[in-house]
Amino acid sequence: MDATTAMYVGQIMHGLAYGMLLFLVASGLTLIFGMMGILNLAHASFFMLSAYFCVSVIHMGGNFWLALLAAPIITAAIGVMVERFLLRGIHASGHIGELILTVGVMMVIMEAVQVFWGTDSHMISVPPALAGMVNIFGLQYPLYRLFVIFLALAILGLLVLFLFKTKMGMIIRAGVSDAEMVEALGINMPLVFMMVFAAGTWLAGVAGVAISPLLSVFPGMADQMGMDAFVVVVVGGFGSLLGAFVSALFFGLLNSFGIQFLPRIAPVLMFVFMVLVLSFKPKGLFGERE
Position 132 confidence tier, pLDDT thresholds 50, 70, 90:
confident
pLDDT of residue 1: 67
Q: Is residue 5 part of a domain?
A: no
Predicted model pTM: 0.89
List the domain range (segments joined by +) for residue 30: 18-280
Total count of domains within the chain: 1
pLDDT of residue 35: 67
Q: Is residue 147 part of a domain?
A: yes
Instruction: Give the chain's mean pLDDT.
Output: 87
Q: Is residue 12 part of a domain?
A: no
Torsion of CA 195, 199, 202, 204, to 10 degrees: -130
Position 122 confidence tier, pLDDT thresholds 50, 70, 90:
very high
The 10s digit of each residue's pLDDT in 169-190 is 888 878 767 777 877 888 888 8
pLDDT of residue 90: 81
pLDDT of residue 29: 85
Position 32 confidence tier, pLDDT thresholds 50, 70, 90:
confident
Nearest to residue 104, comparing CAs of 47, 50, 45, 53? Answer: 45
The 10s digit of each residue's pLDDT in 230-280 is 899 889 887 788 888 899 999 999 988 888 888 888 888 888 989 998 898
pLDDT at 290 over 60: no
Q: Is residue 96 part of a domain?
A: yes
Q: Is residue 93 part of a domain?
A: yes
Position 288 confidence tier, pLDDT thresholds 50, 70, 90:
low
pLDDT of residue 113: 93
pLDDT of residue 141: 86
Q: Is residue 167 part of a domain?
A: yes
Q: Is residue 1 part of a domain?
A: no
End-to-end CA distance of the chain: 46
Question: In the chain, where does DSSP find H-type helix?
Answer: 3-36, 43-59, 64-82, 88-90, 95-117, 143-165, 167-184, 189-211, 221-236, 241-261, 266-280
220 vs 253: CA distance, rounded Å: 23
In single-letter form, the type of residue at position 210 comes to: A
Burial of 12 by CB count in 10 Å (0-12 exposed, 13-18 middle, 19+ buried)?
A: middle
pLDDT at 2 over 90: no
Across the range 48-64, mean pLDDT stands at 93
169 vs 185: CA distance, rounded Å: 16
Q: What does the DSSP 8-state code read for residue 129?
A: G
Q: Is residue 9 part of a domain?
A: no
Across the range 49-76, mean pLDDT stands at 94
pLDDT of residue 104: 93
Across the range 197-210, mean pLDDT stands at 93
